[in-house]
Chain A
Amino acid sequence: MDLVDTAHKLVSQSEQNGASQAEAFVIRVATSSIYIDDNIPKIGDSKIEVGVGLKFILGKKVGFTSSTLLSESTKDVVKRAMSIATISNEDPKFTSLPEARKVSGKPDRFYDKATAEADSSVLADKCMELVKTAGSDAVSVPNGVLRASALEFNVVNSLGVDASSKSTIVFGYFTAKADEDGKVGEGVQRVWSRSLYDVDFVAKGEKLRTQATSVINAKPFKEKWDKIVAVLAPSEGSEMMGTLVGTAVSAENVNNRSSPWTDKVGDTIAHENLSVIDNGKSKLGLMSARVDDEGVPTQKTRIIENGVLKSYLFDSYNANQLDLKSTGNGLRRGGRDAHGAFAGMVSCRPSTLEIPAGSKSVEDIISEVKKGVYIEHFAWPLVDPLSGAFSNEIRNAKIIENGELKDQIKFALLIGNLYESIKDEILVGSDTEVHGTRVMPTMAFAGTELVGQ
């Protein structure tokens, strides 16, 4: 199927059927994967998915449908979208699809040919490098997945948007289990990259083994520490910070007034050490593309600058409500997996959230902490983005006393409120890493509570 032809056909057929405006999003994703089970490449997988998403607009009525076009034609899809638009209620907030803007850069700027061509046998060999490095008499790699996707999408609308972008995504998730005399420990490592060949699988394997074995000697934490500093590894801190900031600055949440940062542009909402950027053209970002999923050119948007809220993030729907321009944040794709992206409607969310690297190494940060905890891994780094509350179980952590790392601990919860913590001094590391749709370094937050079990 020719993606460009299909997108144009969907829009023109919609217009012929009376659509006042129409938008077609057509995507092809080809993925090779390997699943690791019990130290071996258990499943080799190859998949190709082509899907379309069509917005059919009748004035202020919007109908959306999607299809893989396996058992139906573009005409069937248009007919269905039209019937949905016809019965939809008018959305008074809808004014228009985005207009065409000049798009710069080549469509394949974020595409790595070698990664796109890697089949499951190449991935299996990469995985086995990791497994062999991580494994020992006491350590195994029971679970893992590595996949490399090449994706290409086209967006066409009635207002002249006709844009495409092509990129590659590599995702991996591996766990290691250490078992010594009945005591067990687990390590977790993820791979996020746009190029398979930028990933050091041996280093990942070493880290996995170190994590799993260090947990074995963890001591139960039985105290309750108040007002301590939590130093969070990039994987954990970026997930929490990304969830919080991403929710609070989405114009969707601002317009519906559920964001705690509604009407706060220009206000100081965090410590001066904190700056956050949304970068749709991030060099490392997995969402990087020439255009967003509405065909609007991507850009760099300063969200928080030295603690001051500078901007929200907009898709066209939410921007139009405030007579502003979209910031290129109308997205359907995800950073982890692009399969199924055609089936979702555009949502207003970050592309790649970046926190610029600071000047301090992790060791520097730890040396500045009188009493705290260094956390490499939570069960899952959750935060409630509406209230900022979090209480997360620690899986891999060491306590910090007088600037030094001490005992490895287990059975403890880190409790706090991230909206409050970011108002206190934040220490920002120099070790920026990619984790999902975030590129952030190690960060240290004050005002947290460590509760033993």
Chain B
Amino acid sequence: MLDLDDIHSGYGETRILHGVSLNVAVGEVVTILGRNGVGKSTVLKTIMGLLPCLEGKIIFDGEQLNAAQPFEVAARGIAYVPETRDIFPSLSVLENLELPLSLKAGRQGEWTLERVFSFFPHLASRKQNGGAQLSGGEQQMLAIGRALLLNPRLLILDEPTEGLAPIIIREIHDKLTELKDEGLTILLVEQNFGFATSLADRCYLLGKSVVQWSGSAEEIKKDKDAQHRWLGV
């Protein structure tokens, strides 16, 4: 479904990725692991068109996405939940969720406001609250709910567990597992090794700006050497 072929990317003069290749098949959950600052988030931002793809190819559903702008990437069916969640503070919870609907960029599908509120009952009771008044966990749920309202074919998440309490992490884990069981394709960037490997089918280990290791989640759990070298676990 998604193929990254030798992509190079970075901010201005600074290159962060020097030829990253990976792929995600339909219905798979794939995770990108790696130490801080190896460029995991950069991979996701490059897919979204937030950073320029300087070399290499991004192919989604057989179409090249290299020069696509973020709104075009969203329209093709990729929804993004950034590390900072990026809830719009001057919009209410309801308005945050309605935004992808009123922009009409996403596809028609099974995700509706009602379904998001029953998926995340927490949010239903906070409809009229301002985006800035939510706890970290609620913000994460809102960011995921908002992304789902694009009815994406691929959901990409950047460190959804960051800064959250263990009980909330468990809840997010359950919700993502539900989405996986429904057949949603997910690309996940994580620091939380246990969270990532219990959810993912396959893993890529990023180090020194390229992919250093790839394999199934079961394999990486056993490969202490790779864990030690590229994750410092």
Partners in one complex: no
- Which A residues contact B (CB, under 8 angstroms)? none
- Which B residues contact A (CB, under 8 angstroms)? none
